[in-house]
Structure 1
Amino acid sequence: MTHSGSGVELLGRQRECQVLDDLLAGARTGTSAALVVRGEPGIGKTALLDHMTSTASGCRVLRVAGVQSEMELSYAGLHLLCAPLLSGLEDLPDPQKNALAGAFGLRDGGPPDRFMVGLAVLNLLADAAADQPLLCVVDDVQWLDEASALTLAFVARRLLAEAVLLVFAERDPSEHPMLTGLPELHVTGLPDGASRDLLRTVVPGRIDRLVRERILTEAAGNPLALLELPRGLTPPELASGFIGIEAHRVPNQIEDDFLRRVQALPDDARQILVVAASDPLGDVRLLRRATRRLGIDADHVLARGEAEGLLSLDAQVHFRHPLVRSATYRAASHAELLDAHRALAESIDQHSDPDRHAWHRAQAAAGPQEDIAAELVRSAEKAGERGGVAAMAAFLDRAATLTPEPAQRSSRALDAAQAKLLSGAFDQAAGLVAMAEVAPSDDLGRARIDLLNAQIAFAQNRANEATPLLLSAAHRLQEVDVSLARQTYLDAIGAALFASHLARGPGLREAGEAGREAPRPDVPALPDRLLDALSIRLTEGYAAGAPHMAAVFEELNDDRLPVTDSLRWLLFGSVLASELWDFDGWRATTARHVVVVREAGALSELPPAIDALTTVHLFAGELAAASALIDEAKTVCEAIGSPQARLGPLGLAAFSGHEHEARALIDENLADATARGQGAAVIITEWYRALLCNGLALYDEALEAAGRVVEHPEAFTSLPWGLVELIEAATRTGRTDVAAKANETLSRVLRAAGTEWALGVGARSHALVSSGSVAEEAYRSAIDHLARTRAGTDLGRAHLLYGEWLRRENRRADARDELRTAYRMLDELGLSGFAERARRELQATGVVARPRTDPTRTTLTDQEEQIARLAGSGLTNAEIGSRLFLSPHTVDWHLRKVFSKLGVGSRREIPARMATPRGRRTPDLRR
């Protein structure tokens, strides 16, 4: 390498340096970016980062590196990176400020939500970059603690207009899959000419040609190899060619060389390296205190030069290369590692840093030791407050391992498994449950084992395996905790709802029967009444269950319901509302559920809550609102790394009549849901297929799909919805007997529900199987009832069916009026399939219907439209950013483009310009 100006010119790295220089230039003009620099150990990633930081004139630079021994300590790396910016903590919104302060141990409180931490870091960096572009460099990501890596990956995906540059360096292949998908710079070996030039700087004297070619071949362009391979050779060996270089993969060979050098050190020098490698913070004062406890003067030993080239001290501890740290671990004996951690534990103030003290003390334990295990348990809560459930889980896991008494070890393993489950480490949770199964403490312990196995199966999308495990756990719990047992029966019904007909073993009816037989508490709480209502519905039928469901739904829909109960039970509220055909209640409950989940930051619960509210908007004919929610769900799923929800997009495509898109989603949904044992998703997908095909007048296919839906009468809600589509398809295909029988079943349910929505849909279906004045009276009754609801799609379809009937009755003038109403309504709602049916019927009566595209409509991108609608609803940039996981700077950048495209000067003007959903057509009806 050669020096040039303020920076360093790296041999053979012109292309890589240009990429980094371009990113810096972009940051200086206000453009954010993220980059992952990947390559094998020693390939020069750190040198490229050094080049970048040395040439970052005009930018503020933050830099941190992962440390192998701190991988279990949550947010440790993030804290080091953000420490210089913490003066800006008070400027963040309170939820973000509290989450980040809790993660960094700056204040007490519950475990921070990691997505709220991510949003806080995004805004902290954006605020810091408002005055000066910010370069954040994260080296050795493969050794960064998981919480820090997840947070920074989250931030990297949300950067756009903040003048923040976030650059990661990690080994190849990636050990952090959360970085997958980010822009990459793959660093490979140096070209031959640059390799030879670098080797000459290391061996300036005479070198035998064969020796030089062997070194170049072995190094394969790896700069560290070129620097280190000649180190062990004497000048005569270099000059004579009498050497033996074993053919190994270069990084391993280099680490083996470091390993030999560490092993060759005197005992005291090697022990200093072991202590340094065991401390994640690189704290020089801590290293000195710990080595003094071992009877070693670190400064004196290093001054003798015995560890020269491997370790150096200034404000912090520095290893020559990360491979030295890993080589030190390999070189250390078990006794040396125990001594190092014991010395570190004794050198850390137990009161000011209890979790780190407990962690090192645990690492120093040679075997089970109850006092250390108990300290880990006590420290676990503090670690959780700082680093969330992942940190708590690490402490509890180690505590279980160190617990000597079998029953207590089993109980602690279950506590650790619960924390691992909450942190998303499902395989590790399963391993801890297996540990607990060796010696369960009592009936409660055995019940917890069943419960955790069920929860792990459910979390891994194996809903069809969860129901029997939950029922088994609930049965055991009856003897020790009736309240918990009943809640577990309720969870079993929830799992059975998801699994439906694909359940392995007991299903919905069996779960309902078990709930009916469960002992009741003296003073029933809300979950008890909810369990009773659902169990009666499943065992005695809809008519018997409806009054109980209505009563408990009223409780669930109470605004005074505590947040914890809302988070736990409101999804059941959505099921009850749709089952009761209470449209207004359904709308209120699902909207409230989404708000509660958003405000609580429980993002893993947000996609199903959004999906329920999306369905309400689809029935209302509010397709633009449904589309915005689908975009939000997609944003959330991307942020939390969850599989993309497909039912919302499928529902929008089916209601819109977009056949090609809907059919692709139907195929994907059926394959995925069947593989995961999610029977409810299969049923809903088939119902969407039936609705789509009825809209497209593909009645034979609609009949087949609806028939598959109604095969499962125990399923909630989907049975009457399926019957509605089946009756329409059957009458259009001449299967009047099938339609009449289905109408009898549907009528019993809808009369028991008794709402305007239920009575309207019931009258419409009854009209389809009737004739003469009975049919006409039923159509008019359907329109009258549905006009009093917000179920716009059902009202539009009622006008369409009535118009079609009138035309077939040769009442052309009456049919035109009804079909004009249907066409305008269905077209305005965006139900293009049903609207096309109305248009064709109108043409048959002599009315020419031509669609007309709004020429003033300017197309926005999906995210621009999402932001425009939120801004138009009155949300501030900060509130929009919190909703969409963007910084206010990025929201402002998007809004400037929205204003330009829509030709507006303020957000107050947006609603009028957004009144017509994107791509909407205005019908032109001419006689």
Structure 2
Amino acid sequence: MDISLVGRDEEIGRVRALIDAARQGRGGALVLRGEPGIGKTALLDDAAGAAGDFLVMRVSGAEFEMELPFAVLHQLCGPILAGLTALPPPHRKALEIAFGLDAGTPDPFLVGAATLGLLVETVRERPLLCLVDDAQWLDHASARALAFLARRVAAERVALVFAVREPYRSPELDELPGLALRGLGETDARALLAAAIRAPLDERVRDRILAEARGNPLALLELPRSAGLAGMAGGFALPPSTPSVIEQSFRARLELLSPQARLLLTVAAADPVGDPGSLWRAAGLLGVERAAATEAAALAEFGARIRFSHPLARSAAYRAASPEDRRRAHEALAAVTDPVTDPDRLAWHRAEASAGPDEEVAAELERSAARAQARGGLAAAAAFLERSAALTLTPGPRAERLLAAAQAKLSVGEFDVAAELLAAAETAPLDQRQQARIDLLRGRLSFVRRRGDERPTTYLLRAAARLAGTDPAWSRACYLDAMETGILIGGLGPVVEAARLAPPAADPPSSADAVLDGLVGLATEGHRAASAVLRPIVGKAADEVWARWPSMGFMLAVELWDHDALHGIAARIVAAGRESGSFHMLPIGLAMLATAAVHAGDLGAAAEMISEEEAIAEATGAAPLVYPRIHLAAMRGRREEAAELFENVLAAGGRMSLSVQWATAVLGNGLADYPAALEAARRAVEHGDLGLSGLALPELVEAAVRCGETELAASALRTLTERTRAGARAWGLGVGAYARALVTDDEDAYREAVEHLDGTPMAIYRARAHLLYGEWLRRRGRRREARERLRTAHELLSGLGARAFADRAAAELRATGERARSRSAQAADQLTLQELHIARLVAGGASSKEVAAKLFLSPRTVDAHLRNIFRKLGLTSRRQLRDLPGIR
């Protein structure tokens, strides 16, 4: 065993256990964390040696290459790119775009899914071990894709081991299993030092080395090597920080080399690719002879690939060089870089070679940023733009580049850097448009940070006011941005009030103009006046306005009780998300579409979409969107399941608490727990939330009537009637009619409700109309007619899986003297949402590979889920799934 692994038996065991599990088809990942020199690279070396039957793929992050999107992933996949042809076309295209083989904008997570497919093809022949050193320097796009991959290999013969240098962090890897490496204990440290130094050593010198090294293995090995025992005995003063000690050790060894050898190492350190062809061409331009490699071989290997003996050796070689030598190295590398095949690396080398402002290089970096963004490398684009701004002297272009860099940094989650760039931009002379852009970016920053008393809408409204005189169309768009933000975080009322000062709309007005004017009218004049403006545009679900403000469109569709628009807007967002591969847009669309399906009564489809959204969230490390689950739990009516979900959401606080109030009202009415429903519905309505308070009104009417709160019921009915008549859609008119029937005891209103809802896809609301009418008939002693309505309600609600309302219908049927047919247990009741989704896909004829691609799993994982599904349902084949209730 390598002497640098003395005292690492536990850590070696953990890594080898990961490899053994992967060998048996139980893949996984492990992130080694620790200070420089603590033994991470040595553990990676040991892992490579222990995986003799594996294909070992090893790469390293480079601090100087973080600007290049998918750089490390490309290095990793290079040896297996022949397998691209076996991937589904969208996955193949995603990787081709990421690696510069095609044009487009891939989502890093789609690239991750494609990489998973590529590796699955590879491990058909032999297991795979991926080793990633210095992972804190991974480019952002590679880090996200590799983190995605690491979360999805549980059923594959794939192991990934990352090494991350503390105190740096790699946020994308933070959620993966980790192993922190600490300093060696005194016994192990003494044993390592004894193995490294064969000569007799003065005890006082040994004690000092041990004390200064603090158990760091590389420090224990490097200090005596660089300082010499005499130097240690003579009182050699070590820096207080071990990483500095180690780097100083490498620097001391560099000082013993000739100027040519040091310059060669500087060039090698400045080139992250490690390509010997580029290195020697650049070295030739600098007059460095090949003989220098022999002298430098103690610190770097000059073979088929350039590799330093340790990441800190590379860092030391670069930082120990004078600024002039670093610039010369980058200048030489730029001269040998192909401007056609590698323009971005050329721009980067030229930028590092610049001693001061250089507009030509700054413009080149700006072009590189555009190319990087087109390849999905937002982090790279941000870095290029930031460097471009630093090289720009003219105030106007510098401000533009700073703003563009801030926007890119914000998009990749580097919020503190974005704030610094905005502060830098504010020091330049700015026009109104640039000041408005700063306000818009500060608004987005405030929204994602949600710190202190900052209100995102304040910044957005300020931007709108700035632009009112010079760009009315943009000003009005800013007001709509503020309104949608207000919908998402609460506090829409003040935003709408401010929007009354918006500049007049263009002639003819656009769809966005209609939405803005309609929302202002809704708040100031009521639903009847605003519906004439809003109803036509909300009804056009395909209008471009909803592509930019989808949440607003969705909530307005609910407000107007327009299910066609509700479904249409959501379906469009899903389609756009699938087409673009956006793992930001697709989950939003799926959550919306699932919610629309819940209200239509297609609870199985809703569960399927929620499962897909959760699969994306799990794969990307994001938090799943909880509101569709709240809506589904309310309609399914399973008390224990709903109570647990609602408690968790309420404990977390935030906007979803209002959704829980509405859902609690629905659940309470289903369970005939009318006091609980009344209290929850009252809280949901009082808040005045767009869309949600409208949905809560019929629940409030029903609960208030059952609790004898007649005045409250009548007041809620008046508000509900104004809204549903203004919307003039069958869903709202039907719900309004049965609410009116509850308050007035008018049988014609019950019949009207059934007539309106019978022609709609709103099956749950149609069933509830029959249930309420049947209950009314039973209380009037008209049992035969009541049985007919209650039987219809029970059959509908049972078939939909709305347990609470179905049980209520069954109880009412028993009160008429008829026993409801017992509800056969549906297969869906026994499965998790993900299992149900897989079962429905397989029942529809999808193969394991197709299901895996859709849910970002491996085929082996899908097969494991299928075995569990078969066990739960007592099945033996895929064909049997097709005939099960609740599956197809």
> What TM-score do the two structures reach when normalised by structure 2?
0.91
Do the aligned partners of 1:500 and 1:507 also contact (CA within 8 Å) in 2?
no
Contact preservation (8 Å) 2:32, 2:161 = yes
Which of 884, 887, 891 is 2:858 aligned to?
A: 887
Partner of 1:360: 349
Pair 1:519-2:525 in alignment? no
CA contact (8 A) 1:567 1:597 kept: no
Alignment of 1:202-213 (within 5 A): 202-213=196-207
**C-alpha distance in structure 2 between counterparts of 1:840 and 1:858, whole Å:** 21
Matched, 1:763 2:734: no
Counterpart selection for 1:610 from 571, 590, 594: 590
The equivalent position to 1:829 in structure 2, one of 797, 800, 820, is: 800
Question: Which amino acid in the other structure matches residue 834 of structure 2?
Answer: Q
One-letter amino acid of the structure 2 residue matched with residue 403 of structure 1: T
Alignment partner of 1:716 is 2:690 = yes
Q: Which amino acid aligns with 2:368?
A: S
Of 737, 743, 757, which aligns to 2:711?
737
Query: What corresponds to 2:464 in structure 1?
Result: 474
Supply the distance in 2 between the matched residues of 1:600 and 1:655 (Cα, whole angstroms): 32
Q: Is the 8 A contact 2:505 2:513 kept in 1?
A: no
| 1:281 aligns with one of 251, 258, 273 | 273
CA distance in 1, matches of 2:567, 2:46: 57
CA distance in 2, matches of 1:472, 1:451: 9
- Quick one: structure 1 residues 319 and 914, their matched pair in 2 at CA, closer, same or farther if it must change by over 3 Å? farther
In the alignment, structure 1 residue 151 sits paired with structure 2 residue 145 = yes
1:121 aligned to 2:112?
no
1:549–1:882 Cα change, 3 Å? farther
Which residue type is aligned with residue 527 of structure 2? Answer: Y
Amino acid across the alignment from 2:505? P
Partner Cα separation in structure 2 for residue 533 and residue 855 of structure 1: 45
Change over 3 Å in CA distance of 1:79–1:809 after alignment to 2: same
CA offset at residue 861 of structure 1?
Answer: 4.8
| Aligned equivalents of 2:167, 2:84: Cα separation in 1 | 36
Q: Is 1:747 matched up with 2:727?
A: no
Match of 1:548 in 2: 533
Structure 1 residue matching 2:151: 3-state secondary structure: helix
Give the conservation status (yes or no) of the 8 Å contact 2:791–2:820.
Answer: no
**22, 28, 32: which is aligned to 1:27?**
22
Displacement after TM superposition at 1:116 (Å):
1.7
Q: Deviations over 1:157-179 (max 9, x none)?
A: 01133322222122345611222
Q: Does 1:497 align with 2:482?
A: no
8 Å CA contact 1:35, 1:168 repeated in 2: yes
Instruction: Name the residue aligned to 1:630.
Output: 610
User: Hey, what's the Cα distance between the residues in 2 that align with 1:856 and 1:373?
Assistant: 62
1:384 aligns with 2:373: yes
Q: Within 2, Cα distance between the matches of 1:763 and 1:50?
A: 74
Change over 3 Å in CA distance of 1:430–1:873 after alignment to 2: farther
What is the identity, as a one-letter code, of the residue corresponding to 1:467?
T
Q: Is the 8 A contact 1:731 1:769 kept in 2?
A: yes
Give the conservation status (yes or no) of the 8 Å contact 1:533–1:552.
no
Distance in structure 2 (CA, Å) of the matches to 1:628 and 1:576: 25
What is residue 415 of structure 1 aligned with on the other side? Answer: 404
Q: 1:217 to 1:451 in 2, by over 3 A?
A: closer
- C-alpha separation in 2, matches of 1:541 and 1:440: 44
**SS, match of residue 519 in structure 1:** coil
The one-letter amino acid of 1:300's match is A
TM-score by length of 1: 0.88
User: What SS does structure 2 have at the residue aligned with 1:74?
Assistant: coil
Alignment of 1:46-125 (within 5 A): 46-107=41-102, 109-125=103-119
Q: Which runs of 5+ in 2 are unaligned?
A: none
Matched residue, 2:192: 198
Amino acid at match of 1:260: A
Cα pair 1:9 1:51 within 8 Å, conserved:
no
Which residue number in structure 2 is paired with residue 685 of structure 1? 660
Moved more, 288-297 or 74-83: 288-297
Secondary structure in structure 2 of the residue aligned to 1:170: strand
Shift of 1:851: 6.0
User: What residue is the counterpart of 2:291 in the other structure?
Assistant: 300
How far the C-alpha of 1:112 sits from its partner, in A, is 2.3
Residue number in structure 2 paired with 1:507: 495
Query: Could you tell me which amino acid in structure 2 is paired with residue 47 of structure 1?
Result: A
Shift of 1:911: 3.0
CA RMSD of aligned residues (A): 3.3
SS class of match (2:315): helix
* 1:592/1:365 CA distance change after superposition, 3 Å: same
Q: Do the aligned partners of 2:546 and 2:553 also contact (CA within 8 Å) in 1?
A: no
Q: Give the match's secondary structure for 1:489.
A: helix
Percent identical residues:
46
Residues in 2 aligned to 1:569 and 1:261: alpha-carbon distance in whole angstroms = 60
- The 1:552/1:461 distance shift into structure 2, 3 A limit, reads farther
Q: CA deviation at 1:354?
A: 1.6
Counterpart for residue 225 of structure 2? 231
1:67 is displaced (CA, Å) by 1.6
- Choose which of 363, 372, 378 in structure 2 pairs with 1:374: 363
Instruction: Rate the CA distance shift 1:276–1:124 in 2: closer, same or farther, 3 A.
Output: same
For the 8 Å contact 2:836–2:887, the answer to whether it is kept is: no
| Larger displacement relative to structure 2 (201-210 or 656-665) | 656-665
Shifted more, 568-577 versus 626-635: the winner is 568-577
Larger mean Cα displacement after TM superposition, 385-394 or 244-253: 244-253
SS in 2 for 1:769: helix
Q: Does the 8 A contact of 1:36 with 1:167 survive in 2?
A: yes
Residue from 415, 422, 428 that aligns with 2:417: 428
Deviations 1:536-594 (A, max 9, x none): 4444332233243332234334xxx6xx7764355444334323323344334423432
Aligned-partner Cα distance in 2 for 1:453–1:345: 37
Query: Mapping of 1:168-207 within 5 angstroms?
Result: 168-172=162-166, 175-190=169-184, 194-207=188-201
Task: Output aligned runs, 1:239-318, within 5 Å.
Answer: 246=238, 248-263=240-255, 265-297=257-289, 299-303=290-294, 305=295, 307=296, 309-318=298-307
Aligned pair partner of 2:560 in 572, 576, 580: 580
C-alpha separation in 2, matches of 1:566 and 1:393: 28
**Equivalent of residue 706 in structure 1, options 681, 696, 711:** 681
Describe the superposition over 1:642-665 as per-residue Cα deviations: whole angstroms up to 9, x where unpaired. Answer: 333221222222223344554554
Provide closer, same or farther for how the CA distance between residues 612 and 308 of structure 1 changes in structure 2, counting only shifts above 3 A: closer
Alpha-carbon distance in 2 for matches of 1:9, 1:905 = 53
Given residue 86 of structure 2, which amino acid in structure 1 is its aligned partner?
D
- C-alpha deviation, 1:353, in angstroms: 1.9
Match of 2:834 in 1: 863
Judging changes above 3 Å, is the alpha-carbon distance between structure 1 residues 793 and 464 closer, same or farther for their aligned structure 2 residues? farther
Deviations 1:184-226 (A, max 9, x none): 3444445666544433332222223444454445445433233
Q: Aligned partners of 1:543, 1:812: CA distance in 2, in Å?
A: 40
Q: Secondary structure at the match of 1:367?
A: coil
DSSP-derived class of the 2:100 partner:
coil
Q: In the alignment, residue 545 of structure 1 is paired with which amino acid? A: A
Distance verdict in 2 for CA 1:521–1:270, change over 3 Å: farther
* In structure 1, C-alpha distance between the alignment counterparts of 2:255 and 2:666, rounded to whole Å: 73
Higher alpha-carbon deviation: 589-598 or 371-380: 589-598
Residues 647 and 669 of structure 1 are in contact (CA less than 8 Å); yes or no, is this contact kept in structure 2? Answer: no
The unaligned stretches of length 5 or more in structure 1 are 3-7, 918-927
C-alpha deviations, 1:811-833, integer Å up to 9, x for none?
A: 45554554444444434433333
Match of 1:923 in 2: none
Do the aligned partners of 2:140 and 2:380 also contact (CA within 8 Å) in 1? no
